[in-house]
Amino acid sequence: MADRYRQIFENANDVIYTTDLEHRVTALNKAGVELTGYNSDEVLGKSIDLIVPSEYILLFDQMKERMIAGQVSAIYEVEILTRDGRRFPAEVSARLIYEESDGPVGIQGILRDVTERKRLQEQFWRSQRMEAVGQLAGGIAHDFNNLLTIILAYTNITMDSVGADHPVYRHVEGIRKSVQRASSLTRQLLAFSRRQVLQPRILQINSVISDLQKLLTRLIGENIELLTDLDPAIGLVKADSGQIEQVLMNLVINARDAMPNGGRITVTTKNSVLTDADAREYHYVEPGHYVVIEVVDTGHGMDAETLSHIFEPFFTTKEAGKGTGLGLATVYGIVKQSGGYIWANSEPGQGATFRILLPRTIEIFAEDDSRGDTQKSRHGVETVLLVEDEHELRDLLAHTLRKRGYTVIEAADGAGALRVVAECRGPIHVAVLDMVMPRMGGRALANYLAALRPETSVVFISGYSDDAALQRDGLDSAAHFLQKPFEPARLAEKIREVLDLQKVTFKEIILPIKPKTHTARASSASSASSAVK
C-alpha cells in the first residue's frame, strides 16, 4: 500500500506536498519540483515561504486553525514563487494529517496551477466589460445622433433665412462644422460598439486614405513621419468606408505604438492580380484582381511566436492597462467581412508590414437624361410615411419634406404607423423608418409594410442599430439607408433618388476571376509571416 501511495504521490500531475504544523516542508512530489524549480533537498525542512510568498503565511495559519477547529478541508488561492523569481496563481486544497495517538501532526496539500483558468476568466470579464461599454456607447451615440440631426436642421434653416451676407451667418456655419466633427465622434463610438449599420458601397481607396491622412497625422504625434505612396490607377472596391477607415486607424495606431522613440509609417496602395499559382502559394486565396493596401512601419518588429497570435482576440504585447488586444482582431474581422485577406510580415528590429487584399470591382452607371438637375429632383408630389419616435426631429423632417411638395403622414412608432397606413386610402410611395424605436423597430415595421403595401419603397434612418442581423450582414443590397446625423435636405434627396430609381440602370461587374495578362504578384517577404485565411 505504501508503494502504491508513493507512486501516486510522485506521478500526480498536480503538486502534492506535506508540511508540519509550523509550515516546514516534509515532502514534495516530482510535479512540485518541476513547477518550482527547486529540487527536494533544497525544499525539505525549509519553511513553505520558500515557494509561497510570505504574505500568504497568515492565510496558511488561518486555514490550519479552521481545520483544527473541525473543518474537514480548506480550499484557497495563493501564489507560487519559483526559483527564478516568477509568480503564478495556484489553488490549494489542504487537509490535516493525523497520527492515531497524537492528533494532527501536519498538513497535506494538493496545489494546482490555475494560470490558464485565470487568463480565461480575465478574458471573459474583459469581454463583458467591453460589451457593457459598447452597449453604453451605442446608446449614447443613438441619442446623440438624434440631437445632432436636430441641431444640423436648425443651423441650415437659420443659414437659409439670414443669407451668406448676414453677420450671424459665419457663426452659424461654425456651429454646423462643429456638428459635423461631433458626428465623426459618434461614428467612432459606433465602430467601437459594433452597432453601426453596414453600408457597402463602391470606394476609391486612395480617396479614403487621403481624407483620413490629417486625422492619422494627429494621432501618431510629431516624432513619427506618415508617408503615402498611392497608385493613381488604383482599382475600385466594394466595402463599408467607415470600416475601412477603422482598419487604417487601427493599423497606424498599432504601428505608432511599436515606435515609442519615433520612426516612419508608409501607407501604399497598388493593384495586384493573383494567378492560380499565386493562389496556391497564398493558401485559401481566390485567384483574381485585387487592390492591395500595405502599412509598413520602422518599429521594433515581432518574432515568429508573437506573429502567430496577433489576430487573436485579447492578445496584446502591451503592458496591462495599455491595450485591449482587440485592435488587430477587429482589423481581421473587417477585412474578412469585406471579402479580403490580410497578412503580417515582421522580424525583431526590422519593423512590420501589414498587407491587405480586397477584391477589385468595376461599377458602370447608365443614367437617364430625363432625371433633371439635382435641385429640381429634390421636390415631388408623392406621399411619404415618416416614422420617427423623436418628436422634434420628426417635426423638422416633416416640415422639410412638405416644403418640397410631398404629402407627409407621420407616426411616432411602429404601432401608430400601422394604424395610419390602415386609414390611408391613397398610395404611400415611400416610408421613412427609424430603425430603433420602442416596441417595434423599423426593420420589423418594414416587414409588415411589405405585406400591406408591397409597392411602398423604404428608406431606413438611424443613429445606430442593435439588430444582430444588421451588425453581421448589413442592410440588404436593395435597401436604402441614411446614417444620422444628416441634413433634412439630404433626406429629401434620398427620397427623390428612391422614387426615380426605375429610371436608372445600374450594373456592377466583378472583374474576371482568372487573369490572362499583366500578372503582378503580391510580394512575399522572406521574414517571419502571419497569414490569415
Domain CATH for 420: 3.40.50.2300
Q: What's the grid cell of residue 233? A: 490607377
User: What are the distances in angstroms from CA 263 to CA 124, 255, 303, 351?
Assistant: 36, 9, 19, 10
| 337 and 388 together in one domain | no
| 403 and 529 together in one domain | no
For residues 244 and 486, the answer to whether their CB atoms sit within 8 Å is no
Q: Is residue 175 part of a domain?
A: no
| 343 and 258 together in one domain | yes
Ramachandran angles phi, psi of 377, nearest 5°: -70, -10
Q: Is residue 154 part of a domain?
A: no
Cis peptide bond prior to 485, omega within 30° of 0: yes
Grid cell 479614403 — which residue? 208
| 407 and 467 together in one domain | yes
| 220 and 264 together in one domain | yes
Per-residue pLDDT at 282:
66
| 212 and 360 together in one domain | yes
Nearest partner of 97 among 4, 18, 28, 8, judged by Cα: 18
Q: Read off the CATH number of the domain in which 57 is found.
A: 3.30.450.20
Residue spans of the chain under pLDDT 70: 1-2, 123, 126-139, 141-142, 184-199, 280-284, 312-327, 363-378, 464-479, 502-533
Q: Is residue 124 part of a domain?
A: no
Per-residue pLDDT at 372:
40
Pairing state of beta strands 352-367 and 288-297?
A: antiparallel
Last-in-domain residue among 61, 80, 113: 113
Q: Is 316 left (phi over 0), alpha (psi -120 to 50) or beta?
A: beta
- Containing domain of residue 351, as a range? 197-364+510-533
Q: Is residue 127 part of a domain?
A: no
Q: Is residue 312 part of a domain?
A: yes
Distant-in-sequence, close-in-space partners of 11: CB < 8 Å, separation ≥ 6:
30
Ramachandran angles phi, psi of 297, nearest 5°: -125, 165
| 314 and 374 together in one domain | no
**446-494 pLDDT tens trace:** 999 999 999 999 999 887 655 443 444 445 544 688 878 888 888 888 9
| 208 and 325 together in one domain | yes
Q: How many folded domains does the chain comprise?
A: 3
Grid cell 487621403 — which residue? 210
Q: How far is Cα 297 from Cα 282, in angstroms, rounded to an integer?
A: 23
For residues 265 and 226, the answer to whether their CB atoms sit within 8 Å is yes
* Dihedral, 369, 374, 380, 386 alpha carbons, nearest 10: 130
Q: At what angle do helices 115-162 and 391-403 cross, to 10 degrees?
A: 40
For residues 216 and 227, the answer to whether their CB atoms sit within 8 Å is no
Per-residue pLDDT at 168:
87
Q: Is residue 35 part of a domain?
A: yes
Q: How far is Cα 143 from Cα 433, in angstroms, rounded to an integer?
A: 16
Grid cell 487568463 — which residue? 119
| 439 and 531 together in one domain | no
Q: How far is Cα 320 from Cα 312, in angstroms, rounded to an integer?
A: 17
| 490 and 381 together in one domain | yes
Q: How far is Cα 342 from Cα 311, in angstroms, rounded to an integer?
A: 10
| 263 and 392 together in one domain | no
Q: How far is Cα 288 from Cα 524, in angstroms, rounded to an integer?
A: 17
Per-residue pLDDT at 85:
85
| 342 and 465 together in one domain | no
Per-residue pLDDT at 314:
55
Last-in-domain residue among 58, 91, 113: 113
Q: Is residue 120 part of a domain?
A: no
Q: Is residue 294 part of a domain?
A: yes
Grid cell 476568466 — which residue? 121
Q: Read off the CATH number of the domain in which 240 is found.
A: 3.30.565.10
Q: What's the grid cell of residue 183? A: 458626428
